[in-house]
Amino acid sequence: MATPAKTARTAPKTAPKTATKTGAKTAAKTGAKALRDTVEVTAARLRERGERVTPARLAVVEVLAATDEHLSAEQIGERAEGLRPGIHRATVYRALEALGEFGLVTHVHLGRAGTTYHLSGDLVPRHIHLRCSECGTVLDAPGNTLDPVRRKLQRDLGFRLAPEQVALLGTCAACAEA
């Protein structure tokens, strides 16, 4: 099984430390292009649905596309205001709600850590969330990790598991070693 990628409390991805200046610039351009592409795809999907493409909705998508962190609504609001000064926090909350209804953003309940948001559908790879009950770190695991459990529950009980909405609790490697 692949090792889960640590995504909480880390800075957005940057070029590797060993990259040359040219390599770093190329990596930054690639990241910027991916960000633009995600925002453009989202805007196109909103238009296809007949929905409004608002500055707040685009700012929310831009914030979420630019990070691997699991952000709260408040953190998204702060970052969105930084991108587009003048966007009211309540507008950002409404944008999150609307984007969720459209299937473009999803939320995850992290227990005591609260609710966080990220892009959903084919905008990001399918994944499940793991939260360390000791330190609070949130890890992403491949989305197919629980597929055998999903199939068994569906077959035996007719139950359709949707673990993407919650975080599974456990102990991360660092805390287990401590």
Q: Set out the domains of the chain in order of their start, with CATH numbers.
A: 21-121 (1.10.10.10), 125-178 (3.30.1490.190)
Name which of 47, 87, 48 is nearest 62 in CA terms: 87
Mean pLDDT, rounded, for 69-73: 89
Number of alpha carbons in the 13 Å side-chain half-sphere of residue 58: 14
Q: Exposed, middle or buried by CB within 10 Å (0-12, 13-18, 19+), for 155?
A: exposed
> How far lies 42's CA from each of 10, 18, 52, 91, in Å?
25, 33, 11, 18
Q: In this structure, are residues 140 and 129 in contact, taking their beta carbons and an 8 Å threshold?
A: yes
> Looking at residue 158, what is its pLDDT?
97
pTM of this structure: 0.71
Banded model confidence at residue 124, pLDDT cuts 50, 70, 90: confident
> Looking at residue 174, what is its pLDDT?
94
Nearest-5° Cα angle at 94, 143 to 46: 65
- The whole-angstrom separation of Cα 79 and Cα 60 is 8
pLDDT above 70 covers a percentage of the chain that reads 82
> Looking at residue 10, what is its pLDDT?
31
Give whichever of 37-46, 90-99, 157-166 has the largest mean pLDDT.
90-99
Give whichever of 17-26, 56-65, 114-123, 125-134 has the largest mean pLDDT.
56-65
pLDDT above 90 covers a percentage of the chain that reads 43
Residues 9-55: tens digit of each pLDDT = 332 332 222 233 333 333 344 567 778 888 899 899 999 999 999 99
Mean pLDDT, rounded, for 54-76: 92
Name which of 75, 140, 78, 77 is nearest 114 in CA terms: 75
61, pLDDT greater than 90: yes
Strand partners, 129: 140, 167
138, pLDDT greater than 70: yes
